[in-house]
Amino acid sequence: RAAPAPLLPADSSEEAPGESSVDAGAAGPAEAPGGRPPDEASGTPAQALLLGGFGRSRAPKVRPFLPAWLAEPSCVAKNVTEDLVPIEDIPEVHPDLQKRLRAHGISSYFPVQAAVIPAVLESAANGFLVGRGGYRPSDLCVSAPTGSGKTLAFVIPVVQALMPRVVCQVRALAVLPTKELAQQVSKVFNIYTDATPLRVALVTGQKSLAKEQESLVQKTANGFRCLADIVVATPGRLVDHIDQTPGFSLQQLRFLVIDEADRMMDSMYQSWLPRVVAAAFPNDGAKGPPALLQRRQLEAVTAASTCCPQMPLQKLLFSATLTQNPEKLQQLGLYQPRLFSTGLARGGTRDTGEDVDLGGKYTFPVGLMHHYVPCSLRAKPLVILHLILDMNFTRVLCFTNSRENSHRLFLLVQAFGGVTVAEFSSRLGPGQRRTVLKQFEQGKIQLLISTDATARGIDVQGVQLVVNYDAPQYLRTYVHRVGRTARAGNTGQAFTLLLKVQERRFLQMLAEAGAPELERHDVPSKLLQPLVPQYEAALAQLERAVKEERRQKAA
């Protein structure tokens, strides 16, 4: 079996954990040190069949060759407790916004904010209609750990850049993968636009299309009036409005924020971006002399193309797990991109050929402690009950890999009693999901059992513990799940329950990602024993509940 060497191993473990560790024995001939072909290096004649020598050795790791902007990012400190920048040290931020920040208990910027806010403000230094010196500003990509304050890193400069606008038009669009996340981001925009004339609209499908249309445009005697400066949307609903809302125009769009950018590039979401970009340019193409500041589809940058200032469409990408795969990033059509990163750069640059290794593949919050619990399939529910009942955690977020698993575990814990428990998955309607999250935030729910619907971006204060009841399949999923705790400089714990067969691959996947070593946490059976009688009664009750649900479904 000759496995081709991965072109871009930087992303491989994300898609298929463990596959990056191809052993040399199976991988076929690899190049020997010094670049000689293997036969020559070993002195073995070509075509010779080697008997014995079955020792395994690791195939040399292929280093990705990255474009300079990816290989040489602007480095951002990752410790949000140490590298704070007092608000007054960034005087470019409008005094009203500074006041608002203080009113919300923020006296210093986190490192990612201190780096990104001035960069975005600089690109709008001459007003939002043209970039500095009339040139189109760079698109920005930001890769920083979960809970490091990426939301404010775009909210503050976008609000400030749009504050002097005279006519209401959609000038900023933030696209997020889920309704809950979009709602969370629109809340933050609302806080900072509150005392300004700017209006924020949320389009996620939580309300009817007609209701959302009413918040976007108003019919007038001679056309339509725009009612939103900033639109926060999920991709599907956004495309619905592009197609079906008369008068909804993105032709004045100045900022396109793509939060959770790696997720938004996944195949299921891909088609929304070309639709938005097409909607941001005039329909009549590039024929005829352009009107002042009229945007034209980007061609080669030449003296002629830069002499007519046009309103830029600047893309701002954010994620804790931003891909380094240039092919994936290319789909976004980034313009002279700039990367801010807390430790992503690896790979050679064309100029120096040197490696820039800033640590692991992704960075984790400094206050996060990672553990794993070796256990059998049967003991899993007991282990989670032990963690909650005996270790006194009061706000626990527990992830499973499917909504069925979430539901059953929820029914089981509920039947066991003694824990306030709820589930969160697509089984619930949007309204119910909102209520559950609110109750969890208010501390009314001790254990929230969830699918990956809450794995990304959701910012719930005070989560002390994340449990991976089912081990996540992908590295990215792990990063986001455990990132629901230890946010904004707080500490937190993450426990992953691992079956014997999962242990080696999982630990290897995390080691390759640069996660701090997972501490092994054994739960001896004598600690679980006292829970067994009540647990068995709960199992019997679960069986009855599942049968009843099946009966109701069939009826």
Ligand X SMILES: Nc1ncnc2c1ncn2[C@@H]1O[C@H](COP(=O)(O)OP(=O)(O)OP(=O)(O)O)[C@@H](O)[C@H]1O
- Residues near ligand X (CB under 6 A) are 106, 108-110, 113, 146-152, 320, 457, 459, 483, 487-488
Q: Which residue, 113 or 324, has its beta carbon nearer to ligand X?
A: 113
Q: Which residue, 250 or 513, has its beta carbon nearer to ligand X?
A: 513
Q: What is the DSSP string of 140-177?
A: EEEE--TTS-HHHHHHHHHHHHHTT--S----EEEE-S
The least distance separating ligand X from the CB of residue 108, rounded to whole angstroms, comes to 6
Give the alpha-carbon dihedral of 90, 96, 97, 102, to 10 degrees.
90
Q: Are 466 and 494 in contact (CB under 8 A)?
A: yes
Q: Are 468 and 497 in contact (CB under 8 A)?
A: yes
Helix spans in 204-336 (H): 209-216, 235-244, 261-264, 272-279, 303-306, 326-330
Q: Which residue, 191 or 428, has its beta carbon nearer to ligand X?
A: 191
The least distance separating ligand X from the CB of residue 428, rounded to whole angstroms, comes to 22
Which of 199, 215, 104 minimizes the C-alpha distance to 159?
Answer: 199
Q: Are 141 and 338 in contact (CB under 8 A)?
A: yes
Which of 324, 407, 300 minimizes the C-alpha distance to 65?
Answer: 324
CA distance 180 to 453: 9
The least distance separating ligand X from the CB of residue 213, rounded to whole angstroms, comes to 29
The least distance separating ligand X from the CB of residue 316, rounded to whole angstroms, comes to 13
The least distance separating ligand X from the CB of residue 113, rounded to whole angstroms, comes to 6
Q: Which residue, 410 or 440, has its beta carbon nearer to ligand X?
A: 440
The least distance separating ligand X from the CB of residue 490, rounded to whole angstroms, comes to 9
Residue located via tokens 């790791």? 61
Burial class (CB in 10 A: 0-12, 13-18, 19+), 315: buried
CA distance 464 to 54: 48
The least distance separating ligand X from the CB of residue 157, rounded to whole angstroms, comes to 14
Q: Which residue, 472 or 483, has its beta carbon nearer to ligand X?
A: 483
Q: Which residue, 151 or 314, has its beta carbon nearer to ligand X?
A: 151
Q: What is the DSSP string of 83-136?
A: S-EEGGG-TTS-HHHHHHHHHTT--EE-HHHHHHHHHHHHHTTT-TTS-GGGPP
The least distance separating ligand X from the CB of residue 489, rounded to whole angstroms, comes to 7
Longest dimension (CA), the chain: 87
Q: Which residue, 181 or 531, has its beta carbon nearer to ligand X?
A: 181
Element (H, E) at 460: none
Q: Which residue, 368 or 396, has its beta carbon nearer to ligand X?
A: 368
